[in-house]
Amino acid sequence: MSTSNGDQVVRPGPAPSSARPRRLEVWQFLVLVVVYLVLVQGVSALLTSGQDVSYGAPTSIDYLVRMIVVPVGLAIAFTLGVVGYLGTWQEVFADHRPVRRWLVVVPIALFATVAVITNYPGLASHGLAFALLLLVATLMVGFGEELLFRGIGVITFRANGHSEFRVGLWTTLLFGAAHGTNIITAGPKALVQVVLTSATGLVFYLILRSTGALLAAMAAHGLWDFSVLSSQVRPDEPWPLVNLAGVVLALLLLLVLVLRRRITPQQEKECDV
């Protein structure tokens, strides 16, 4: 189209529509979990082949690099790629659904427990570099597993029409079951770990909900693993305070159960948890 003086007039085209986030079916999420586990377990097995290593007993920097840093780093790269493909960055990392104020007790209790049960003498005996690398390694585990289960997993179950109770339940059970693959390196005691990690998975889910930030759940997960693994840095001298971890988990879950039963119908409508 042109005006009387010959100037061209360009009609504005339609405004570009914002790309909608992609959604996963539950079975597709399960495939992602399998791929993540294959990366972690497969790469760690490959890197430690022929070496005398014990699962859950980090005693050297070489152990941390081969068993955690490299395999988990590759798994994190894969998971970040999935989030980028889905286009759900904001939805994954921020949770704005209302929750009850008393749930703030959960992260406070967990972080306090971490401070108490960490094996400071054992870490000191291995040196600062080892302690820092163990912290980085466990924070990587927390980042990767929370991104997968409390990030992608939560939004996947929500998008498929599950109630918030089932979202928390299924992501927690899958998180615990995934650790059953540690039977490859840990043997039958990995079955006990399935139960314990299911309990901690529920706590991490509650931290996500109470803070509204996946990064808070990631930090809680990483620091929890750091404190628990620090108890095994000297396998010949187990750290007794680590036994408090199970007690605190049991008390937290009991507290949530008791307070949850006291919710009125009106409060049920106002908040999810």
Q: Which residues contact 129 (CB under 8 A, 6 or more apart)?
A: 61
pLDDT for residue 184:
62
Q: Which residues contact 231 (CB under 8 A, 6 or more apart)?
A: 117, 119, 122, 238, 239, 241, 242
pLDDT for residue 15:
44
Mean per-residue pLDDT over the chain, rounded? 86
**b or e along 160-178 (b: 16 or more beta carbons within 10 Å of the residue's beta carbon)?**
eebebeebbebbbebbbeb
CB 172 within 8 A of CB 198: yes
Predicted structure pTM score? 0.86
pLDDT for residue 249:
87
pLDDT for residue 14:
47
For 120-147, how does the pLDDT look when each residue is reduced to its tens digit (9 = 90+)?
A: 999 999 999 999 999 999 999 999 999 9
pLDDT for residue 100:
83
Q: Identify the bridge partners of residue 89 per DSSP, sorted by sequence position.
A: none
pLDDT for residue 136:
98
Q: Is the pLDDT of residue 267 over 60?
A: no
pLDDT for residue 108:
93
Is 94 strand, coil or helix?
strand
pLDDT for residue 187:
64
User: Which carries the bigger pLDDT value, residue 263 or residue 33?
Assistant: 33
pLDDT for residue 34:
96
For 180-238, how does the pLDDT look when each residue is reduced to its tens digit (9 = 90+)?
A: 777 666 666 667 778 888 899 999 999 999 999 999 999 999 999 999 999 999 888 88
CA distances from 266 to 48, 260, 269, 270 (A): 55, 13, 5, 7
